[in-house]
A and B are shown apart, each in its own frame.
Chain A
Amino acid sequence: MRKDGEDMELALDTPARLRPVPQPLRPSAEDDPATFDASSDTELLLRVADRDREAFELLYHRYVRPVFGLALRRLRDRQRAEDAVQETFTAIWRSAHSYRPERGAAAPWLYTVARNAIVDRQRARVEPPSEVPDSPSAELGPAERAEASFVSWRVHRALEELPEKEREVLELAYWSELSQSEVAEYLHIPLGTVKTRTRSALARLADLLEGELA
């Protein structure tokens, strides 16, 4: 079935020069001029109410990851979560005019819109009857789940604002199980730089989370 080694030689162009460090996982809003805009979420939402597609696109890039994360948590199905993202942003475009800044910040309003779209999708599914478990579940209860969902929402939204270099060290430290020394080795930077960036990233996140995203 398989051909001999000669046949397996695959045509590749001249190998490009390898970079000494891994590439960023994704650009931050600030690094990417196409998606960076200093406008607050509230300002963008008000512009969306006036049918400003550019503002809608900016808002989309700020919130698509938090919305998708929330949908994945609730629906546990990638395809349905993607559908919920589609419905959430459709609802934002349709109902942005109903947002009143004097009643609160944009982030909680957007969270409510997303949660409603996800709940609608959850209801659309007919759940098979489940068996009664023998012992109490170790999973979080509804209240704790709601709390954790909102925390994730705010954190994932705030992460979008961090400079790439700071977000990268956080992601490696928190979700790739790397020690500070391993992060330094992986990124080819001094350990002191890793520590400085990490502390700076945490402080910046604290500022963001105490601000409009509260």
Chain B
Amino acid sequence: MTRPPDFDQVVGPDVDPREEARLRNVHEMLVVAGPPPELSPEMAAGPTLAMTLHRRPARVRHRVALLAAALALVGAAFVAGYISGNGGGDGLSSGKVINLVGTKAAPGALASLRVEPVDAAGNWPMKLAVTGLAKLPAKGYYTVYLMRGGKLFAPCGTFVSAGKTHDASVWLNAPYKLKPHDTWVVTRQMPGHHEAGTIVLRPNV
């Protein structure tokens, strides 16, 4: 839990007693409420079509589930064949460079992430070069997240941005078994926030 600010410092002197009581009540509610959560990009985008569709009867759902499972099996077989046919086994081509662009939260920011060949232990070293990210308050930092299936999957390292140019160039690591459609985003972690923060850089597609 973060340290709440001092009410008197926040509001200052010369406040009407009735107004002060009203503001103090809101102050206490803010302390109890805690920070609002960060939304995933999918949640922030808006409601899904599924929310406004009526649920199908159970029997139909069962058939749809069976069909989906069959399609998934066919898809998995195809992907497995593709990977083995290409002799990779990595699931992701090394040497891949992913260009990231700033979101609304960081317009003007740019980055390039180069994925190096996997080592014998299963680590994927990566080099991130970034420019245009704002310096964050003390204890704030940026996190590089592996993104899988449209969701934040796992962190791959953190860095800060400072100096006149606001450039950074850092080594990171993805100690995970990467998949063909994996990609990365950068989030902004404000002090005291432990959930994944606002996405500031995402793949340029």
Contacts and interface: CB of A to CB of B under 8 A. Distances in A.
Given A93-B52, A156-B36, A182-B137, A24 B29 contact: no
A65 B37 contact: yes
A152 interface: yes
Contacts of B22: 203, 206
A170 B23 CA distance: 13
B3 interface: yes
B120 to A, nearest CB: 9
How many A residues touch the partner, as a band? 35 or more
A174 B44 CA distance: 23
B78 to A, nearest CB: 27
A27 B44 CA distance: 11
A151 B125 CA distance: 45
Interface in B1-17: 2-5, 9-12, 15
A155 B10 contact: no
Given A26-B105, A86-B48, A199 B33 contact: no
A186 interface: yes
Contacts of B4: 174
Contacts of A111: none
B4 to A, nearest CB: 7
Contacts of B47: 56-57, 60, 89
A32 to B, nearest CB: 10
A34 to B, nearest CB: 9
A205 interface: yes
B145 to A, nearest CB: 13
Query: Main secondary structure on chain A at its contact with chain B?
Result: helix
A65 B39 contact: yes
Contact of B110 (A12, A64, A68, A85): A12
Contacts of A86: 48, 50-51
Contact of B108 (A10, A19, A173, A180): A19
Given A23-B107, A86-B50, A198-B11, A151 B29 contact: yes
A82 B10 CA distance: 34
B177 interface: no
Interface string A184-210: 001000000001001100110110010
A25 B29 contact: no
A154 B29 contact: yes
Given A18-B134, A18-B166, A180-B9, A175 B29 contact: no
Contacts of B56: none
Given A16-B132, A94-B54, A85 B198 contact: no
Given A26-B198, A177-B3, A65 B36 contact: yes
Contact of A1 (B33, B55, B119): B119
Interface of B: 2-5, 9-12, 15, 19, 22-23, 25-27, 29-37, 39-40, 43-44, 46-48, 50-52, 54-55, 97, 102, 104-114, 116-117, 119, 125, 127, 129, 131-132, 134, 136-137, 139-140, 165-167, 169, 171, 190-193, 195, 198
